[in-house]
Amino acid sequence: MSGTSEGPTPAADLDRSAVTESDINSTSGGPAAYRSVFAAAPLAMAVVDGEGRIVDANGALGALLGGGSAPLVGRVASDLLDLASDARIRHAYREVLRGRRAKLRCTRRLKQPDGHALWAQVTVSPLEAQTPGAQTPGVLLSVADVSAHRDLQARLRHLQMHDPVTRLANRTLFFERVSAALEAEAYEQSGTGRIGLCYLDLDGFKAVNDTLGHRVGDRLLAAVAERLNGCAEEAGRTRPSVPLVARLGGDEFALLVEDSTGTDQLADLAESVLKALQAPFDLAGHRLNVSASIGVVERAAAGTTATGLMQAADTTLYWAKVDGKGRWTLFDPERNAHLMTRQALASTLRPAIERGEFRLDYQPLVGMSDGRLRGVEALVRWDHPRFGLLSPNRFVALAEEDGSIVPLGQWVLATACRQARQWQLDNPDDPPLFVSVNVAVRQVWDSDLVADVAEILAETGLAPHLLQLELTESAVMGSAGRPLQALQALSDMGVGIAIDDFGTGYSNLAYLSRLPVSVLKLDGSFVRGFQYESDKEGTTPPNPADQVVVEAMIDLAHRLGLTVTAECVETSAQATRLRSIGCDTGQGWLYSRPVSPDRISELRGTAESYAVGNP
């Protein structure tokens, strides 16, 4: 009789109506009564001597082991019941034989001579000695067939671990397998020590549910599962194991490769899934087409956690959907690091405002006609303790998303006005500089911008005409209701309103006449077309189309009573051409990069430094 082991573990008696060793030990009436009870007991039992050999066995044990009871006498009990193959059970059994342990209970898988296998619960208890202090005469073995109980447990576990709609492994079994694959013992013994995952979501499944009902949706899920199983089986033909296919919930599926050979293997698997889903599904009289977006992750098992693996897969699945659906995308650590940085910045924006981690630099705005400093644009910087000095394009969009642009904008506005007033006080004999501050459209909607500006101007003492507010063209064009009212109130107050990056948005020039705008700032993409570049032949002329467009915009702006500022002026050739067509002010690296407030004070005394490209 051969077998496998489970145990030793505590277990409840399966049938308390059966005769047990305690019943035998307490039976009165002498040997005849003992023999009668022992022989008739439905529970398979045997008496084993101190050497481990069977000295008596009942018919139930003989029947359980596939024969009579007589041939069992003299046999080694541990061989019959597989009590020696497992070191823990072997040791515990010997301890009971020697009287040093009260009981052993374990579960064994036994195979009968005809090949039939069964699960048996084996209990070993010491027999009482005839006289106190005498050596233990042996032990009583009782053996119960628990195969039906085990089968029921297996069926229940299967139901608990599998999805009823698709019959695939469910989320519980999937994570159990992932955790097992990531255990050190598992990946150290595997061929590659790596793990891979294809995490997919059906594109367009919700529409099927909404239009045809959940019954058809469930049939579609089952059909998709069948094709995924086919992909897994095909992938497993040349591998030691077949990828596990699981339904994680809704229309989300996963294929787990527990012994991955690299990203090529995962890419091939993902491609096979996409190809398998291309053919339409004919269900309930409907021909349905679905595709899938797949996030692919492949990495060394060592140091990987189930949570980390799924987070990476979920992120990559999101990328696949963003990139256009119906495709697979491989996890990219650099792209993920950028995303994590973005999330880290977003979560610390508001506290950073409170901690004073922001500062302002200022870029000069120079008169094109005389090269003199007319004003400055305030540009916010984030001096992040972890990521260093960050420019606005790293955090302003985040601030607009979560609303922190409102308190940040209030701080920028107050700081810039205070600094402009300080320059005026420090240089009373010079013409005062105006300061231009960028304003997000959300600041107009989510705050009382007019009241904020009025309060800040009153607090700092800065004249309204020395403050200019910049809004993007797309934010200003089409303004109505509260935004338009706010802009009009600010203009009536004397504050200048400038349209930033003009020419990149709606470009509805006729609408300008109905807006309280005083300045247009031409986008740098137009200015770059004015560049003279040296080549072997001499010089390349500027883009004539850009020049025509810019001339037209400047002429129209002037006819509407607006002034024009050119952004991104980087060369004297650009400055010369802009001045020749009537541009009022320029801003760019030709004049100065954004600098600290102290540097602006120094530049005020060197106006000739800006007279580049002037006659």
Quick one: what percent of the chain has pLDDT higher than 70?
Answer: 85
Mean pLDDT throughout 19-45? 65
Mean pLDDT throughout 98-121? 87
- In three-state secondary structure terms, 539 is strand
Mean pLDDT throughout 550-564? 91
Cβ pair 225, 233 in contact under 8 A = no
Residue 532 reports pLDDT greater than 80: no
Cβ pair 613, 527 in contact under 8 A = no
When computed from its CA atoms, the radius of gyration of the chain, rounded to whole angstroms, is 42
Output the six-digit token pair for 193. Answer: 């020590």
Would you state the pLDDT for residue 151?
A: 87
Would you state the pLDDT for residue 344?
A: 85
Cβ pair 202, 290 in contact under 8 A = yes
Residue 607 reports pLDDT greater than 70: no
Quick one: what percent of the chain has pLDDT higher than 90?
Answer: 50
Cα–Cα dist 272/229, whole Å: 11
pLDDT averaged over every residue in the chain? 85
What type of residue is 590?
L
Would you state the pLDDT for residue 602?
A: 85
Specify the higher pLDDT residue, 115 or 379. 379
- Name the pLDDT band for 443 (thresholds 50, 70, 90): confident
Quote the DSSP letter at residue 541: P
Q: Which residues pair with 106 in a beta bridge?
A: 122
Residue 279 reports pLDDT greater than 50: yes
Cβ pair 600, 364 in contact under 8 A = yes
Would you state the pLDDT for residue 323?
A: 86
Output the six-digit token pair for 448. Answer: 């009382």
Cβ pair 496, 469 in contact under 8 A = yes
Specify the higher pLDDT residue, 442 or 422. 422
Summary count for the chain: helices (H), strands (E):
23, 24
Would you state the pLDDT for residue 523?
A: 84
- Name the pLDDT band for 476 (thresholds 50, 70, 90): low
Per mean pLDDT, which range of 244-248, 381-385, 485-489, 535-539 is the poorest? 535-539
Would you state the pLDDT for residue 463?
A: 97
At CA 462, angle to CA 461 and CA 468, rounded to 5?
A: 155
Cα–Cα dist 363/366, whole Å: 10
Cα–Cα dist 186/184, whole Å: 5
- Name the pLDDT band for 606 (thresholds 50, 70, 90): low
Mean pLDDT throughout 80-88? 89
Would you state the pLDDT for residue 124?
A: 94
Neighbours of 480 (CB within 10 A): 7
Cis peptide before 385 (omega within 30 of 0): no
Per mean pLDDT, which range of 112-116, 261-265, 320-324 is the poorest? 112-116
Would you state the pLDDT for residue 251?
A: 95
Would you state the pLDDT for residue 12?
A: 40
Per mean pLDDT, which range of 132-141, 344-353, 415-424, 578-587 is the poorest? 132-141
- Name the pLDDT band for 461 (thresholds 50, 70, 90): very high
Q: Which residues pair with 110 in a beta bridge?
A: 3, 118
Would you state the pLDDT for residue 435?
A: 98
Residue 163 reports pLDDT greater than 50: yes
Mean pLDDT throughout 103-129? 87
E-strand stretches of 18-96: 44-49, 54-57
Would you state the pLDDT for residue 467?
A: 98
Output the six-digit token pair for 12. Answer: 């409840």
pTM value surpassing 0.85? no
Cα–Cα dist 391/399, whole Å: 13
Output the six-digit token pair for 385. Answer: 């303790």
How far is CA 469 from its chain centroid? 39
Mean pLDDT throughout 244-272? 94
Would you state the pLDDT for residue 153?
A: 85
Would you state the pLDDT for residue 176?
A: 92
Output the six-digit token pair for 372. Answer: 């003199």
- In three-state secondary structure terms, 583 is coil
Mean pLDDT throughout 243-261? 94
Mean pLDDT throughout 322-346? 85
Q: Model confidence over 502-518: pLDDT tens digits?
A: 766 555 566 677 789 99
Residue 275 reports pLDDT greater than 70: yes
What type of residue is 378?
A
- In three-state secondary structure terms, 325 is coil
Output the six-digit token pair for 127. Answer: 């027999």
- Name the pLDDT band for 340 (thresholds 50, 70, 90): confident
Would you state the pLDDT for residue 302?
A: 72
Cβ pair 603, 373 in contact under 8 A = yes
Cα–Cα dist 478/493, whole Å: 22
Mean pLDDT throughout 329-338? 84
Q: At what angle do helices 214-235 and 205-212 cross, to 10 degrees?
A: 150
Domains present along the chain, CATH in parentheses: 2-152 (3.30.450.20), 162-331 (3.30.70.270), 351-524+563-604 (3.20.20.450)
Output the six-digit token pair for 449. Answer: 């911008």
What is the per-residue DSSP string for 239-279? SSSPPEEEEEETTEEEEEETT---HHHHHHHHHHHHHHTTS
Which residues lie closer than 8 Å to 517 by C-beta, 6 or more apart? 476, 497, 498, 499, 562
